[in-house]
Structure 1
Amino acid sequence: MAAYVATSAEAYERSMGRWSRKLADAVLDALALPRGAAVLDAGCGTGALAEAIAARDPAARITGIDLSEPFLAEARRRVPVATFRAGDVTALEFPAATYDVALSHLVLQFVPDRAAAVAEMARVVKPGGLVAAAMWDFTGGFPFLRAFADSIAATEPDGEAFRARYWSDPVGTPGRLSALLAGTGLNDVAERDIAIRQEFSSFADWWGPWAEGGQGIAGAYVATLPVERAPRVEALARRAYLAGAPDGPRSFVAVARLATGRTGA
């Protein structure tokens, strides 16, 4: 079974990037970063969070790291004022106390060693600096993707394994992110919900980015389907999206958890 796929920035933007960007503004509203801060965007993807930071504060000194070279190339194109480089969030190649702020935007669900990633973020932040992480609440707050996962879990031979891979250990569930931050010794740890609306014009708008682009977790699953099963899975997905109504616009609420903490003085 394919894991998370991050090979096409264009396809990612259609499937998840548009929602990452929308959430980035809401996250920054909640964080109120200091002006001119040195900011690490740990797992920057195509630059959604970095772009939002730069738009609000041209004086911010932003460094983004990611494992995907195609995503980094798109981030550099979108945010030329920032610095982007390949890197592993669990083994940051920066000295201790380099940054004022370290942020993780919709990444930790897909990091094998989440505690190591948060510990590294804390290590590179100056004393009293901010560490924050946001992640979609897959279990209770992500219905646009849960509808797909539940449909294939009920019918497809590998559907339950797909759902279990991401829903059995959801780091965006309330309490999980704050526990990760507290476990690294961060102070003043707090956690809250951040909600956005995901607007789709039609089933094709919802399904197409997964079927055509093969990015993320749903796209990776669809892209590896045997040819004889693909039409059945698409039909199941269509039924989930339509829910007995005619095709057309749908609006889903997407909820992310945001946890924050401060390094010791």
Structure 2
Amino acid sequence: MAFDVAADAYGRFMGRYSEPLAEQLAELAGVRRGQRAVDVGCGPGVLTSRLVARLGADGVRALDPSPSFVAAARARCPGVDVRQGTAEQIPFADDSADVVLANLVVHFMSDPVGGLREMGRVGGLVGATVWNHATTAGPLSTFWQAVKDRDPDAADEATLPGTGEGALGELAREAGLRDLVETTLTVTVPFSSFEEWWEPYTLGVGPAGDYVRALDADARDALRGHCAELLPDGAFTVDATAWAVLGRA
């Protein structure tokens, strides 16, 4: 999966959505001064920075498998213990955190149940979000609709773990989490033009970026044109909904 990319590329592609979503996740989890938190799959530090704002750098630790994202998170959040690692093997001790969060990570874990279980090992309250890719409410819905219109057999993100209604909660239950709270979080992202919306898809980030980069020039231009047909002229907004779950180990 193409996530070992520059932090700027991630920010231009998904950061516009994940930045406001991270604030909502921190609020949903009730993160407050005096707690200790871990950001699992921290990327370039989007959620990490929100946790630092609430807890201070000493109260936050983070990890991500991508070396470039680890470096970016360290630069964005000085003083935070940011390590390279995966959700399935978190490099922190049992019960060493009050809150362990994963923003837009579970559907990319190699073992989502194992990753959520490991999060529960490290901290008491576990929280996670996953985009609602299984319907038209996700941030990339228009892109994947355009892809499917031209390439019906293309593999989109709707089959990734946790992306369907109730699926994230089911993963949490399988991981042994209890007292579950399941809800949705929605962000609204403005775009000044179609070009501002399209250009991030060419940066090679995530499954969508992988798909675009694999196309030849003619196919890429055709996909771009069809996306433009599906979106309004001029400025527009994209509403993106994520599934969210909180539970205790």
Same fold, TM-score > 0.5, yes or no: yes
How big is each residue's C-alpha offset from its partner over 1:64-122, in whole Å with a ceiling of 9 and x where there is no partner? 11011111111111111311110011122222222211111101111121011001111
Asked if residue 153 in structure 1 is aligned to residue 133 in structure 2, the reply is no
Q: CA deviation at 1:143?
A: 4.6
How big is each residue's C-alpha offset from its partner over 1:30-80, in whole Å with a ceiling of 9 and x where there is no partner? 221242222111100011111011112326611111011111111111111
Instruction: Note closer, same or farther for the CA distance 1:117–1:34 as it changes in structure 2 (3 Å cut).
Output: same
How big is each residue's C-alpha offset from its partner over 1:6-30, in whole Å with a ceiling of 9 and x where there is no partner? 3121111001012111111111222
Asked if residue 261 in structure 1 is aligned to residue 244 in structure 2, the reply is no
1: CA distance between counterparts of 2:104 and 2:127? 11
Partner SS for 2:89? coil
Matched residue, 1:18:
16
Q: Report 1:26-175 matches (<5 A).
A: 26-58=24-56, 61-125=59-123, 129-140=124-135, 142-156=137-151, 160-163=153-156, 166-175=157-166
2: CA distance between counterparts of 1:73 and 1:229? 35
Amino acid at match of 2:122: V
Amino acid at match of 2:238: F
Q: CA deviation at 1:201?
A: 0.9
- Preserved contact between residue 57 and residue 79 of structure 2 (Cα < 8 Å): no
Partner SS for 2:195? helix
2: CA distance between counterparts of 1:98 and 1:141? 39
Partner of residue 216 from structure 2, selected from 215, 226, 243: 226
Q: CA deviation at 1:180?
A: 1.6
How big is each residue's C-alpha offset from its partner over 1:189-217, in whole Å with a ceiling of 9 and x where there is no partner? 11011111011111011001112x22122
2: CA distance between counterparts of 1:154 and 1:251? 22
Partner SS for 2:189? strand
- Preserved contact between residue 53 and residue 60 of structure 1 (Cα < 8 Å): no
How big is each residue's C-alpha offset from its partner over 1:111-137, in whole Å with a ceiling of 9 and x where there is no partner? 121011001111112xxx211111111
How big is each residue's C-alpha offset from its partner over 1:228-255, in whole Å with a ceiling of 9 and x where there is no partner? 322111111211223xxxx211112111
- Preserved contact between residue 194 and residue 231 of structure 2 (Cα < 8 Å): yes
Matched residue, 1:216:
206
Amino acid at match of 1:255: T
Partner of residue 194 from structure 1, selected from 159, 177, 185: 185
2: CA distance between counterparts of 1:46 and 1:209? 16
Give the CA RMSD over aligned residues: 1.7
How many corresponding residue pairs? 249
2: CA distance between counterparts of 1:144 and 1:177? 17
- Preserved contact between residue 139 and residue 241 of structure 2 (Cα < 8 Å): no
2: CA distance between counterparts of 1:78 and 1:44? 11
Percent identical: 32
Amino acid at match of 1:240: L
2: CA distance between counterparts of 1:28 and 1:193? 14
Amino acid at match of 2:132: D
Question: Structure 2 length as normaliser, TM-score?
Answer: 0.93
- Preserved contact between residue 20 and residue 187 of structure 2 (Cα < 8 Å): yes
Structure 2: runs of 5+ lacking an equivalent:
none
Matched residue, 1:252:
238
